[in-house]
Amino acid sequence: MVRWQPISSSVPALALGAVLTLAGCGGGGDAGTPTGLSASVPSAPSNLTATPGDATVTLSWSASAGATSYLVRRATSSGGPYSSLTSTAQSEYVDTAVGNGTAYYYVVAATNAAGESPHSGQATATPVASAPAPAAATVTVTLNPAATRPISPYIYGVNIAAAANTYPAGTPSALPEDLTLDRGGGNRLTAYNWETNFSNAGSDYLYQNDTLMSSSPVAGAAITGTVASDQSRGMASLITVQMQGLVAADATGPVSVAAPPDRGRFKAVVFQKSSVTADPFTTTPSTSDANVYMDEFVWAVDRHFQGQAVFGASPLTQPVFVQLDNEPELWNTTHLEIQGAASVPSDTYIDKTISLAKALKSLFPEMVTFGPAHYGFFGLYAWQGELAASPTGNNWFTDKYLAAMKTASASFGKPLVDVYDFHWYSEATDGSGNRVAFLNGSSLTDAQINAIVQSPRSLWDTSFNEGSWINSALGGPIHLLPRLEAKIAALNPGMKLAITEYYNGGARHIAGTIAQADSLGIFGARGLFAATLWPLVSDQPYVLAGFRAFRNFDGAHHHFGDVSVQATSSDTSKVALYASTDSTRPGRVVLVAINRSSAAQVVAVSGLPLSGTAHLYRMSAVTAASQGTVSPVAAGTQGVSGSSLSLNLPALSVTTVDIY
């Protein structure tokens, strides 16, 4: 498979442009368990807690890898002897056979077919006849069951998933389980030649032509290998199709930018093969001619996965979406070797988009296409200064693009661009000029923590000022998603939104977990079609942990629901809560409650009928301190009924509540 590897990020004026290189090419697959070897006895459960109630003790513990069940044992003396209470497949148990005023001591062992683990550490609790009165709520959250919207499955995505454990120097972070979308994008893709797998590093490294994406002689292997890897993970793919106009013709190293482009080092991109030759499509294209054909490229990808309809409306496996190149406003810097010093005019770019989209959709009418893949705000606002945009006007590049796509699509008879996408590396600062995207150490000041955990609010909150140049340019809160939603509704209804690169910092701090979880909650609540995280650093355990608040939060592959329920917090600066229901399990409700403040909060949730038991899973600086992979820890259960629920949220924490 192809291993994709980011190695640096460029920071052009006013925004961050993410970059991409590709490294390594591996083959083979999982060899499986050698014949004759049996499974291992699981490790002892950890983090056992015992919480007393009125004639009850609620036990919870961290799951053990490989365990199929747990044996709960109890004693009335510290250290035993212990008597067996139950065997359970869950990592929690409520002991109701206890009396108030008596101290009880508990241990848990994990079991599987190979045997029983050692006991966990002992936990103790003394049930009480009357629990203390609950603390008064500090924040209220109101749920509105009349305001719902589907949550797209494609918001839980990353860039270059195949390289998740091969990032540059540093200890790599494990990729979260059950992610849904992988984007193969970035600067490397703009000059990728699918016929030979040659590409150009652009400004990332000496504008070099090489075989870093793949050394395979098989046409398109860098892309088909990645899609195959994604399919094996159960992930959809977003692949990049070249639109700038030139792609690498060799793999012989740095390209001179003294008088770009050096046409001897590149081949011309042709959107529609039939426009220049009557030769049929082939999966083994000639590499001796001057052209590389884009419609033939996607045809070859489809042929590689023949019968799966990867570009169709109902693929048999996971879909493959298409992005129309990458960060075009920056081609004159990131790809000076092919663009030259002059930026591409917005009219020229729009014409290219229409021509390429027509060529692709003439072959695959149901293909889902993304564009323009803006590098950041200044691109979608003013096309890097070409346009005289105004904060409240309809003169943004977005307006121009949406109107042009609507007109061209009407003429073509089908939408040419289905998803409007952009990149969002937060420009929020800590008050001292430091951008949150670059605050990735394990030790952060209070101001830096607050800047990171508040930064996702700029995507939607009409009352939040992030203190960046964007905030100043717009004369107030950014609330970017509602602005774009309104423009789409007015100019090209039906087009979807995506953020295909984003990052809010906090790679090695609980602030990163909070910002990432908040971003995912926003994506679902606002109805984004797709989102893919771009890693700016190699080791980011806390950022990746944010996915686990929504995906596989219990270690048993249970997830946030697929229908968003509107949730309104009385103090968003302290608490955000995202609510969902599950279309496959009536009555199930899943919440993700985020305390971004430095003090514990008591949250009163109301407005949605609830029944059953609330199962809590939590991440905080305390729970993460002893973990190799930052993940939610079982935090007990609560009985629920009626339409209200009280949650005690520790400072700087993310709590997933699964109610069923």
User: How far apart, in Å, are the Cα atoms of 305 and each of 1, 2, 184, 197?
Assistant: 15, 17, 17, 18
Query: ∠ CA(460), CA(566), CA(236), 5° rounding?
Result: 75
Residue 296 structure tokens: 């033939």
Of 33-47, 288-302, 316-330, 349-363, least confident by mean pLDDT is 33-47
Q: What is the pLDDT of residue 352?
A: 98
- The CA distance from 399 to 365, in Å, is 25
CA angle 254, 257, 263 (to 5 degrees): 85
For the chain, give the percent of residues with pLDDT over 90. 82
pLDDT interval class at 36 (50, 70, 90): very low
**Which pLDDT value is given to residue 2?**
31
Is residue 361 within a helix (H) or strand (E), and if so which, with residue range? helix 346-363
**Residue 79 CB burial class (10 angstroms; 0-12, 13-18, ≥19):** exposed
- Could you report the per-residue pLDDT of 419-450, keeping only the tens digit for each? 999 999 999 999 999 999 999 999 999 999 99
How many Å apart are CA 222 and CA 658, to the nearest integer? 40
3-state secondary structure 244-286: CCEEECCCCEECCCCCCCCHHHEEEEECCHHHCCCCCCCCCCC
d(CA 319, CA 311): 6
Helix 480-491 vs helix 510-526: angle between axes, to the nearest 10 degrees?
A: 20
Q: Find which of 13-27, 35-49, 106-120, 125-139 is predicted with most confidence, using mean pLDDT.
A: 106-120
573 to 10, 536, 598: CA distances (angstroms): 31, 26, 11
Q: Which residues pair with 70 in a beta bridge?
A: 88, 110
Q: What is the pLDDT of residues 69-103, one digit of tens each?
A: 899 999 999 999 999 998 888 788 888 888 888 99
**∠ CA 524-527-532, rounded to 5°:** 65
Region 441-466 average pLDDT:
97
The per-residue pLDDT for range 521-573, each reduced to its tens digit, is 999 999 999 999 998 988 899 999 999 999 999 999 999 999 999 999 999 99
What pLDDT does 89 receive? Answer: 81
In the chain, domain spans? 46-125, 139-147+563-659
pLDDT of the residue at 15? 33
pLDDT band at 134 (very low <50, low <70, confident <90, very high): low
CATH class of 46-125: mainly beta
Tokens of 422: 């952009």
**Average pLDDT estimate for 578-605:** 97
Q: Per mean pLDDT, which of 24-28, 128-132, 492-496 is the most reliable?
A: 492-496
* For residue 451, pLDDT beyond 60: yes
User: What DSSP state is assigned to residue 376?
Assistant: S
Query: Does residue 468 register a pLDDT over 90?
Result: yes
Residue labelled with tokens 């009385």 = 570
Instruction: Count the neighbouring beta carbons within 10 Å of the beta carbon of residue 599.
Output: 11
Range 34-40 contact pairs with CB under 8 angstroms and sequence separation of 24 or more: 38/113, 38/114, 39/66, 39/112, 39/113, 39/114, 40/66, 40/114
CB 61 within 8 A of CB 632: no
| pLDDT tens-digit map of 380-401 | 999 999 999 999 999 999 999 9
Reported confidence tier of residue 133, pLDDT bands at 50, 70, 90: low
Residue for token digits 């001057």? Answer: 290
Q: What is the pLDDT, as a whole number, of residue 130?
A: 62
Over residues 358-380, mean pLDDT: 98
Buried b (16+ CB within 10 A) or exposed e, 199-211: bbbbbbeebbbbb
Q: Which residues contact 390 (CB under 8 A, 6 or more apart)?
A: none
Span 34-46, mean pLDDT? 69
Q: Give residue 115's identity as a one-letter amino acid code.
A: G
- Rounded CA gap, 422 and 485, in Å? 13
Spatial distance between the Cα atoms of 74 and 199, rounded to a whole number of angstroms = 63
Superfamily (CATH H level) for 139-147+563-659: Golgi alpha-mannosidase II (2.60.40.1180)
Nearest Cα residue to 227 out of 298, 124, 165: 298
Kindly report the average pLDDT of the chain as a whole number. 91
CA angle 154, 156, 162 (to 5 degrees): 100
Q: Is the pTM of this model over 0.85?
A: no
| 46-125 matches 139-147+563-659 in fold | yes
| Residue 180 reports pLDDT greater than 80 | yes
Which residues are registered as beta bridge partners of 435?
429
**Residue 604 has which token pair?**
């009163």
pLDDT reading at 34 higher than 80: no
Which amino acid appears at position 133 of this protein? A
> Residue 91 has what pLDDT?
81
CA distances from 168 to 22, 173, 209, 543 (A): 11, 11, 20, 17
**Residues assigned a catalytic role:** 327
Strands (E), 113-198: 115-116, 123-125, 139-150, 157-159, 181-184
| For the ranges 54-63, 110-119, 350-359, 620-629, the one whose mean pLDDT is highest | 350-359
